[in-house]
Amino acid sequence: MFTGLELSPRSPEANRPGRSVSVIGVRSSYRDRSGASLQALTGVSLHANHGELLAVVGPSGCGKTTLLELICGLQSPDAGTIECAPAALMPQRDLLLPWLSALDNAALALRIAHRPRAEARARAAGLFAELGLEGFEQAHPHELSGGMRQRVAFLRTLLSGKPVLCLDEPFGALDAITRTEMQGWLGRALEREPRTVVLVTHDVEEAVVLADRVAVLSARPGRVRADLEVDLPRPRSRTDPELIALREQALIALGLGAPCSA
């Protein structure tokens, strides 16, 4: 779950200053049950600089999870190259272990890295208050709300200490109000603990509110339809006309231009 692909010291892209994630001309496929090849991604190129948040949006089944698994080194591409600083993946389902407390779930990445239990717990506990989880250290996952479970899973990913965080639809299963709260919270958490983030989402507004750059993928096989820069100050307002214009551009790239908007 916590894995990474070390930068190759000979790679020209990896040596490029400021770049944490480079995906160049990547093609990826699966075999379906009959053994036929199912193309998931084709000709995908994108990158994220150090400390940037790259959002990847696209319709269901277009290859977003595949792309994150490629970036984290869990899969190899059929063609193209991927270069990434060591990365931690927050998978689409929170995968908290039901028999462990919230604190021990959060500390799991440190335990996997062979840190002593007391140290791992102390480091996780130190961030519980900041994440609004204080008092829930000993609660088990079934006693937590969806938003809290996602924060514990995010904390576990953060505590892996990897410079790149790959977040797979972290707020996808939450109701709209909780999702909006969590987006604000993620923005603040990254201000305190800056990392390079690849955030997969199917929510265009989430992408433009949070990201420095938004890559829009087509339906399967996923290709980059648009690569939009979001050069707006934070915290951002959802009613900022520039933000609304970018959202519109992303929706048009998705083939979902809103006919009722001005």
Ligand X SMILES: Nc1ncnc2c1ncn2[C@@H]1O[C@H](COP(=O)(O)OP(=O)(O)O)[C@@H](O)[C@H]1O
- Interface with ligand X by CB under 6 A: which residues? 30, 32, 38, 40, 58, 60-66, 220
- Taking the least distance from each CB to ligand X, the nearer of 66 and 196 is 66
Instruction: Tell me how crowded residue 133 is: count the other CB atoms within 10 A of its CB.
Output: 21
Contact 76, 70 (CB under 8 A): yes
- Taking the least distance from each CB to Mg ion, the nearer of 101 and 201 is 201
Q: Residue 60 binds which entry of ligand X, Mg ion, none, with Cβ cut-offs from 5 to 8 Å by kind?
A: ligand X
Q: Which of residues 47-76 bind Mg ion (CB under 5 A)?
A: 64-65
Rule CB under 5 A: say whether 201 interacts with Mg ion.
no
- Taking the least distance from each CB to Mg ion, the nearer of 120 and 165 is 165
Can you read off the two tokens belonging to residue 184? 């604000």
Residues in the chain, how many? 262
Task: Quote the least distance from Cβ 104 to ligand X, whole Å.
Answer: 29
- Taking the least distance from each CB to ligand X, the nearer of 123 and 202 is 202
Task: Quote the least distance from Cβ 75 to ligand X, whole Å.
Answer: 9
Contact 202, 236 (CB under 8 A): no
Task: Quote the least distance from Cβ 33 to ligand X, whole Å.
Answer: 8
Spatial CB neighbours of 235, under 8 Å, sequence gap ≥ 6: 184, 187
Can you read off the two tokens belonging to residue 141? 């996952």
Can you read off the two tokens belonging to residue 32? 């379906």
- Taking the least distance from each CB to Mg ion, the nearer of 29 and 65 is 65
Query: What residues form DSSP beta bridges with 226?
Result: 216
* Cα(105)–Cα(127) distance, integer angstroms: 13
* Cα(229)–Cα(122) distance, integer angstroms: 39
Q: Residue 34 binds which entry of ligand X, Mg ion, none, with Cβ cut-offs from 5 to 8 Å by kind?
A: none
Task: Quote the least distance from Cβ 29 to ligand X, whole Å.
Answer: 8
- Taking the least distance from each CB to Mg ion, the nearer of 89 and 253 is 89
Task: Quote the least distance from Cβ 70 to ligand X, whole Å.
Answer: 9
Contact 120, 107 (CB under 8 A): yes
Task: Quote the least distance from Cβ 62 to ligand X, whole Å.
Answer: 4
**How far from 21 is each of 65, 173, 221, CA to CA, in Å?**
16, 27, 21
Q: 209-238 mask for Mg ion (x: CB under 5 A)?
A: ------------------------------
Q: State the residue number with the nearest CB to Mg ion.
A: 65
Helix or strand run (H / E) with residue 48: strand 37-49
- Taking the least distance from each CB to ligand X, the nearer of 66 and 150 is 66
Helix or strand run (H / E) with residue 53: strand 53-57
Task: Quote the least distance from Cβ 38 to ligand X, whole Å.
Answer: 5
Q: Residue 30 binds which entry of ligand X, Mg ion, none, with Cβ cut-offs from 5 to 8 Å by kind?
A: ligand X
Contact 2, 91 (CB under 8 A): no
Q: Which residues of the chain form contacts with Mg ion (CB under 5 A)?
A: 64-65
